[in-house]
């Protein structure tokens, strides 16, 4: 089974994670991409928070970024932090989530000890609804958004590190650097052999 070809944005993301600080022209040269491809990829990654600008023309990968799947949950958490107590209807209105999704989250948060009932209130249609409040554990959780660590592909890491050792001349000037370069070569060779054996 053939592996799917990575998008240019993912290629630049992995290169950035492996290379540390880099310029667009370096990514273009290392990845064999066009100027426009690198520009679009860097702009996208910068906008999404995967890269930050050190100074004009110099970028670096963020090692930890907000998880994209946590966006709706983050809105729910922000809605719950607005006041000391809140109803499910308040959270639905402020977060834009569906009522069923908010109730699902509430069940999970109650089970995890992140919120507790704080009383009742009359709603607009002469019915009572429960009021909720965050526990101390819930308040601590509300201060820290869900984060995910990004780890680049090991083959990309090996290739970038090998490139650094070769291009800087360290691999031919130092026995220790030469040994490190051979380790990277072996990792790349093993990965390429696995690809050839799959076909």
Write the DSSP assignment of 163-178 as a string of letters.
HHHHHHTHHHH-HHHH
3 CB-near residues (< 8 Å, 6+ apart): 195, 198
pLDDT in tens, 88-119: 988 888 888 888 889 999 999 999 999 999 88
Is the model more confident about 38 or about 4? 38
- Mean pLDDT of all residues in 176-190: 92
Of the pLDDT bands very low, low, confident and very high (cuts 50, 70, 90), residue 1 is very low
**3-class SS at 95?**
helix
pLDDT reading at 5 higher than 80: no
Instruction: Give the pLDDT mean for 147-173.
Output: 80
User: Dmax of the chain from CA atoms?
Assistant: 82
Q: What is d(CA 16, CA 11) in angstroms, rounded to the nearest whole number?
A: 9
Instruction: Give per-residue pLDDT as tens, 123-145.
Output: 777 788 899 999 988 888 877 75
User: By C-alpha distance, which of 143, 84, 144, 145 is closest to 116?
Assistant: 84
Q: What is the mean pLDDT of the chain?
A: 83
pLDDT at 2: 46
Type and span of the H or E element at 17: helix 8-19
Other CB atoms within 10 Å distance of the CB of residue 147: 11
58's tokens: 């110099």
Q: What is the mean pLDDT of residues 33-60?
A: 89
pLDDT on residue 70: 53
Evaluate whether 167 touches 157 at the Cβ level (below 8 Å). Answer: no
For residue 123, give the DSSP letter. -
What's the pLDDT score for residue 30?
Answer: 83
Mean pLDDT of 23-48: 89
What is the percent of the chain where pLDDT is above 70? Answer: 88
pLDDT of residue 157: 84
């Amino acid at each position: 089974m053939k592996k799917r070809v990575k998008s240019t944005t993912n290629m630049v993301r992995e290169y950035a994670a492996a290379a540390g600080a880099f310029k667009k022209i370096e990514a273009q040269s290392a990845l064999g991409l066009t100027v426009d491809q690198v520009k679009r990829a860097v702009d996208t990654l910068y906008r999404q928070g995967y890269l930050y600008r050190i100074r004009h023309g110099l970028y670096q990968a963020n090692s930890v970024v907000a998880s994209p799947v946590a966006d709706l949950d983050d809105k729910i958490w922000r809605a719950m932090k607005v006041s000391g107590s809140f109803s499910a209807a308040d959270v639905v209105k402020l977060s834009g989530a569906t009522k069923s999704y908010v109730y699902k989250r509430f069940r999970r948060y109650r089970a995890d000890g992140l919120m507790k009932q704080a009383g009742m209130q009359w709603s607009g249609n002469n019915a009572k609804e429960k009021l909720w409040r965050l526990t101390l554990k819930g308040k601590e959780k509300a201060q820290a958004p869900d984060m995910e660590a990004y780890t680049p592909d090991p083959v990309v890491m090996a290739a970038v590190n090998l490139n650094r050792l070769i291009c800087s001349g360290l691999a031919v000037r130092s026995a220790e650097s030469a040994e490190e370069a051979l380790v990277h070569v072996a990792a790349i060779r093993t990965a390429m052999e696995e690809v050839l054996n799959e076909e």
